[in-house]
Amino acid sequence: MSKFQTIGIIGKQGETGAAKATLARLVAYLAGRRIEVVLDSVSGALLDAPPGHTLDANDLGRRCDLAVVVGGDGTLLHAARSLAPHRVPLVGINLGRLGFLADVSPTDIETCLEPILAGEYDEEARCMLAARVDDDQAGATPWPALNDVVIHKWNTARMIEFETYIDGAFVNTQRSDGLIISTPTGSTAYALSGGGPLIHPALDVLVLVPICPHTLSNRPLVVAGSSRIELRVLGFDQGHVQITCDGQTNLALRPQARVFVERTPYPARLLHPRGHDYYKILRAKLGWGGHPARAESC
């Protein structure tokens, strides 16, 4: 008997080929095991589900006790932001090109899901961030992120200037193209391309990575995971600055706004087949597996 009685399925947006075939195979497999299946609007549209047979993210989170995400890491990031507050665990079926989070192959759906449904799996709790903009009009609505919160310029060629505070203590003033505030999960994403360190997801830390800083001594900074980070944009740059969460949601800043970023009270729950190996994923995705070529002797 399956440990999970109701499973939500979340599909990759903009896909009609591989995603549709994988979704159909997944639904058929779960139906054969007599598991109740609920669909999000994307997967429902791809499978031509009748009206009323799909749910929005909040309703899906309240109904299901497991979600299977069919897509790449971007689809899983979207699902995590919606479902983590409901404590729903996620399993990712990877249709993307460079997947650090979704690690089940579409060809291995039955082989990998069978032990997971029976309760045989490895579970990870991945910390998430909440960004809040404090000004007179935006209120205190939190914007969640699993990978990162980025403050950056968006419509100007010049740099922006801002101050950083951690737990109320002034850290620095910097001029740069922006700042990436990353979880360990996000250390393999935008923060990596910005020169940040790889951080094991079990570590309780955050990393602040400047984007093209004007001062060469401005380096990535690793801080405690419980840190409360405050950013204050200076001068006349507010109209050229945005906050972006996971590269998917954007919020423009108003003058005099302050940005607060801190860990959410709930983590994202990721389920993997038994034997999940983080370093194996790094070797596969970053090309660490091979040996250096040896030069031929003359």
Catalytic residue ranges: 73
Query: Which 3 state secondary structure label does DSSP give 58?
Result: helix
User: What is the spatial distance between Cα 19 and Cα 173, in angstroms, rounded to a whole number?
Assistant: 46
Closest CA to 121 of 285, 294, 275, 295: 275
Q: CA-based Rg of the chain, rounded to a whole angstrom?
A: 21
Closest CA to 202 of 126, 254, 123: 126
Backbone dihedral region of 74: left (phi > 0), alpha (psi from -120 to 50 degrees) or beta?
A: alpha
User: What is the spatial distance between Cα 111 and Cα 105, in angstroms, rounded to a whole number?
Assistant: 10
Spatial CB neighbours of 278, under 8 Å, sequence gap ≥ 6: 200, 201
